[in-house]
Amino acid sequence: MINIYLILLNKKDGEGEDDHPFPELSNKSISSLDELVDDQRIRKKEDDGLKLVETVFDNKTRLILFKMMNKGLFSVLEGAISSGKEANVYFAYTKKESIAIKIFRIDAPSFKKMRPYVEGDFRFKRFKSSRSGFIEVWARKEFKNLKRMAEHGIPVPKPIAVERNILLMEFLGDEDSVLPRLKESPPKNPSSLYKRIMESIKTIYRQCKLVHADLSEYNILYNKKTDEYFIIDVSQAVLNSHPQASIFLVRDLSNINNYFSSFQVKVFEIGKLFKWVTGEKIDENLLIDLL
């Protein structure tokens, strides 16, 4: 049996089993977890391009993963699905299904650039000024945004749980691979998909009261077999009352227009799209900034 407890602590079998840094965890908890993961494996899947990246596993992160496993939120942790500046996403199993675990980097280099997306959001008026405190808010923000979007029918990975810098959510893909980004998988019917994505932007704005603020072909997963799409990476999404919401919306609309224009889709003018989405006339200065 592979001792999951030791792996999460980044130790080898027989090394420091009785001297772990988390004395608040009882031997009973450790024992029950070992029983839970008996015959399970944490393994690298290099053939699938999934590699376990351990740079995000600080001690507190390992402790939370341990507790989540003990609660039965997942039972097997595999390799990394993706690795980015802000977070790594890992493939995992529960007893019934596959899930994705997103671990936000406490040492994210873009920490300062992320702050404007939280400041001005009444849902997170109070948050610790420390780096770790902010990243915790960033993870909760993605959870709340995903939940709100899912409740209004937006195709997103359904959120499961969040704690500190760890977000559990629905896995989008099959046993062999995650769904590709739209950038990597040209749509079957570009014109139809363009209109559906624009409808989602409108629903996100009017029903969810949000603006994605970083929407592009890189933040949309696409299933060519079913012609389904899923909007991802919504941690930076802001309320539509945010001081810079209009700027972010225009940028999102422009990104989607630019992508679909490459497929000779007849896209709508930004000004008309903005009014259609918001019900308000666009500030001409926003259009000038795009030139």
Task: From the candidates 18, 214, 283, 289, give the one annotated as an active-site residue.
Answer: 214
Given a contact cutoff of 8 angstroms between Cβ atoms, the answer to whether 249 and 290 are in contact is no
**174 counts as catalytic:** no
**What's the number of CA atoms in the CB half-sphere (13 Å) around residue 285?**
2
What is the side-by-side strand order in the sheet with 76-83? 76-83, 87-93, 98-104, 166-170, 159-163
Measured CA to CA, the distance from residue 83 to residue 246 in angstroms comes to: 30
**214 counts as catalytic:** yes
Length, in residues, of the chain: 291
Quick one: angle between helices 270-278 and 190-206, nearest 10? 40
Quickly tell me which residue has 């959120």 as its tokens.
Answer: 159
For residues 70-94, one letter each, b for 16 or more C-beta atoms within 10 angstroms of the residue's C-beta and e for the rest, the string is beebbbbbbbbbbeeebbbbbbbee
Task: From the candidates 233, 252, 283, 289, give the one annotated as an active-site residue.
Answer: 233
Sign of CA dihedral 20, 24, 27, 30: negative
Nearest CA-CA partner of 202 in 153, 262, 138: 153
Nearest CA-CA partner of 207 in 287, 152, 257, 258: 152
Distances (CA, A) of 165 to 60, 95, 106, 210: 9, 23, 8, 22
Catalytic residue annotation: 214, 233
